[in-house]
Amino acid sequence: MISLQINNLTLKYGRHYVFKNLSFALDEGDFLCIVGPNGSGKTTLLKCILGEVKPTSGSIKIGINSQNERIGYLPQNTNYNPNFPASVYEVVSSGALNQTRLFMPLPKKKITQSLKKLHIENLSQKRFSTLSGGQRQRALLARALVASEDLLILDEPSNNLDYSSKEYFYHTLKELNQNITIVMVTHDLDHRNLIGNKILSLDPNFPFFGNTAEYVRRVHAH
């Protein structure tokens, strides 16, 4: 597990501020849900944490270093070719490619453990394109877990999942959170599905960072 600290983060495009002087901190083992309307900067914030977007000012500290720690990432849209004959095992193992040097073997034990943690070891030899939406998301989450056992970044992972698949997926995330810090963007504002212990609201009309229970109380009082 790993901690995350954002200090006075500002991102500006021309005269437009995506966010300004944003500060918050996560402890090891926190589960943060990031909420807010479209255009409020949720995905952009994730890209700043990942190092894909450079902020105008401010700092991001991950663990004891800056942005040098490996992060497991599940993007909002994952493009795949339905005709590509990759197995679930091959898709999950691709999460280790950035950790292995040329000609070094893949970490089979870590891959197998990730499959088991996501309860898809029985699907390891199935073709990825034949999976249901919920199974596919768990396979992609297993791939992210292979990339990092410290911090997971998830961008609206429950999109396009039916109710039962979403419930099972969220249950799996809560299991994983026992051993890993999670940051998740979500549009699902049903308080029962705000499964993290902390909330960051980027809504300019309702900014908030704190405990989930307090956020829910304020929303209902608002």
Residues 70, 90, 78: CA angle, nearest 5 degrees: 65
Q: What is the pLDDT of residues 140-151, one digit of tens each?
A: 999 999 988 789
Q: What is the pTM of this model?
A: 0.89
Q: How far apart are CA 215 and CA 222, in angstroms?
A: 10
pLDDT computed for residue 54 by the predictor: 95
Structure-block tokens of residue 126: 């199935």
Look up residue 1 and give its two tokens: 């597990």
Digit-coded pLDDT (tens) for 153-169: 999 998 878 888 889 99
- Right CATH for 1-71+151-222 from 1.10.357.10, 3.20.20.80, 3.40.50.300, 1.10.1740.10: 3.40.50.300
User: Is residue 145 a contact partner of residue 152, using CB atoms and an 8 Å limit?
Assistant: yes
Q: What is the mean pLDDT of residues 6-18?
A: 94
pLDDT of residue 188: 77
Buried b (16+ CB within 10 A) or exposed e, 41-72: bbbbbbbbbeeeeebeebebebbeeeeeeebb
To the nearest 10 degrees (0 to 180), the angle between helices 133-147 and 108-117 is 140
Looking at residue 192, what is its pLDDT?
72
**DSSP string for residues in 125-148:** TSBGGGS-HHHHHHHHHHHHHHH-
pLDDT tens by residue, 191-213: 777 899 999 999 998 999 999 99
CA distance 21 to 123: 45
pLDDT value of position 79: 66
Q: Quickly state the pLDDT bin for 178 (edges 50, 70, 90).
A: very high
Mean pLDDT of the chain: 88
Q: Show the tokens assigned to 99.
A: 């950790």
Answer yes or no: is pLDDT of 105 > 60. yes
Domain range list for the chain: 1-71+151-222, 80-147
Residue partners of 141: CB distance under 8 A and separation at least 6: 74, 118, 152, 154, 157, 169, 172, 173, 176
pLDDT beyond 90 at 81:
no
Q: Please tell me the predicted confidence (pLDDT) of residue 90.
A: 92
pLDDT one-digit tens code per residue, 109-141: 889 999 999 999 999 999 998 998 899 999 999
For position 68, what pLDDT does the model report? 46
Residues 6+ apart with CB under 8 A from 48: 9, 11, 54, 55, 60
Q: Outline where 107-188 has alpha helix (H).
A: 108-117, 133-147, 163-176
- pLDDT above 60 (res 69): no
